[in-house]
């Protein structure tokens, strides 16, 4: 149910983007108990002047591998569960495609089941029992 | 007052995009009682590797006509009103530009009047009485 | 802590975009008490058919300099503080890069500290005491 936007500098190969979304998927499944096929991601590749990030604020040093995950979830989760997800995500990304932990930034936005339709004009809230 | 982001695969004509935003507008006016001229939309066209969507999770089969609406509203609405909007939106999109119902995904994010400025540095909350 | 998406029509120079994000930064520091180095922005440049905005709804007339700021913050702020930010932002943008006040639209989305990780897999909520 999460929908994730990923922003990074332009110029990455499809293989890199594939590894990026695979890592995100493993972290969501592992830490948020998201079903394995619940994969919905939009990647935004930016020209250098279009992606602004401080290299040192509250972490860093950030490099040109900086990536921002903006994730909208379908239900609230505890601070501890979110913290576990952050740790898991950087572990997965360090493994593949090989992104330094300090380059990984995340922002989570919460919403409710009734805010989602997966298709067919059906509310996810009404469709809850029918979920695979 | 809604602001909508629409993500879809790249390569669509201006006419297709125009029909897409017209359909969204009719659904917002019809189901959310949004004023007819309250139209603010950003379309993001993605290369194939940039838009990831499972073809079968909780619906489908999704095709390359898959489109995701990410809609920020200015006030809360009931689950029933949202469900009616989902139904209306797929009806409009099937009519024009001709998108199968199973390709239409929606995520709603709620905010308040005080979170909006339509211009001039004026808060929509302060400007409420002056609204046309 | 805010993360801002800026949507505008394509074709702007890096200098214009730099002035735009500088103006945003000054308004966030001045009105939201954001630390000076807390700068995280993604700019989305759109083809004409991809950016839809009514020229006259609740303000205007809007021109092709129309710019939409979609700002996710890390804590709630009062309606008065948000209103002060809206005023400050248009003042800064009129000064540089020279955007008419009626072309500046803003939408704020709130979240909490526990929804943020600035890097290293660390939750901003856990890292609060260590913030510079």
Interchain proximity B119–C105, CB inside 8 Å = yes
Interchain proximity C107–B18, CB inside 8 Å = no
Of C14, C44, C119, the CB nearest to A105: C119
More confident residue, C91 or A131: C91
What ipTM was predicted for this assembly? 0.96
Q: Which residue has the tokens 């700021």?
A: C69
Which of C9, C18, C40 to probe the A interface (max A CBs under 10 A)? C40
Q: How many CB pairs under 8 A join B and C?
A: 108
CB of A11 less than 8 A from some CB of B: no
pLDDT at residue B1, as a whole number: 79
Tokens representing residue C24 in the block: 């945003």
Q: How confident is the model at residue A128 (pLDDT cuts 50, 70, 90)?
A: low
Per-residue pLDDT tens over the stretch B19-68? 999 999 999 999 999 999 999 999 999 999 999 999 999 999 999 999 99
* CATH number of the domain to which C79 belongs: 3.30.429.10
Contact yes or no for B43/B17 (Cβ under 8 A)? yes
Expressed as residue numbers, the domain containing B14 is: 3-130
Q: Does residue A70 carry a pLDDT above 50?
A: yes
Per-residue pLDDT tens over the stretch C42-78? 999 999 999 999 999 999 999 999 999 999 999 999 9
CB of A115 less than 8 A from some CB of C: no
Contact yes or no for C47/A63 (Cβ under 8 A)? no
Interchain proximity C3–A70, CB inside 8 Å = yes
Question: Is the dihedral angle over the CA atoms B74, B76, B82, B84 positive or is it negative?
Answer: negative
pLDDT at residue A1, as a whole number: 78
Say how far residue B55 (Cα) sits from the centre of its chain.
21
Domain count, chain B: 1
User: CA A19 to CA A76: how far, in whole Å?
Assistant: 27
Q: Does residue A131 carry a pLDDT above 50?
A: no
Contact yes or no for B99/B50 (Cβ under 8 A)? no
Average pLDDT value over all residues in chain B: 95
Q: At C15, phi and psi to the nearest 5?
A: -65, -40
How large is the average pLDDT for residues C3-27? Answer: 97
| A 17-46: CB under 8 A from C | 44, 46
Contacts of C110 in chain B (CB under 8 A): 111, 115
Per-residue pLDDT tens over the stretch A81-127? 999 999 999 999 999 999 999 999 999 999 999 999 999 999 999 87
C62 φψ region: left (φ > 0), alpha (ψ -120 to 50), beta (else)? beta
Which of B6, B40, B107, B131 to probe the C interface (max C CBs under 10 A)? B40
Interchain proximity C57–B35, CB inside 8 Å = yes
pLDDT at residue B131, as a whole number: 44
Q: Does residue A130 carry a pLDDT above 60?
A: no
Interchain proximity B120–C59, CB inside 8 Å = yes
Average pLDDT value over all residues in chain C: 95
Task: Point out which residues pair with B70 in neighbouring strands.
Answer: B5, B107
Q: How many CB pairs under 8 A join A and C?
A: 110
Tokens representing residue A130 in the block: 């029918």
Q: How many CB atoms lie within 10 A of CB C124?
A: 26
Contact yes or no for A60/C119 (Cβ under 8 A)? yes
Per-residue pLDDT tens over the stretch C94-131? 999 999 999 999 999 999 999 999 999 999 998 765 44
Exposure of C14 by Cβ count < 10 A (0-12 exposed, 13-18 middle, 19+ buried)? exposed
Of C14, C72, C121, the CB nearest to A101: C121
């Amino acid at each position: 149910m999460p929908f994730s936007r990923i922003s990074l500098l332009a110029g990455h190969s499809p293989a890199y983007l594939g590894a990026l979304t695979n890592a995100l998927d493993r972290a969501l499944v592992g830490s948020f108990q998201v079903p394995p096929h619940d994969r919905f991601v939009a990647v935004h590749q930016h020209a250098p002047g279009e992606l602004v990030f401080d290299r040192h604020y509250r972490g860093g040093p950030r490099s040109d591998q900086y990536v921002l995950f903006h994730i909208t979830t379908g239900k609230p989760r505890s601070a501890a569960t979110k913290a576990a997800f952050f740790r898991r995500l950087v572990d997965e990304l360090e493994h593949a495609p090989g992104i330094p932990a300090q380059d990984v930034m995340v922002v989570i936005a919460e919403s409710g089941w009734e805010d989602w339709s997966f298709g067919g004009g059906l509310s996810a809230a009404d469709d809850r029992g029918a979920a695979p």
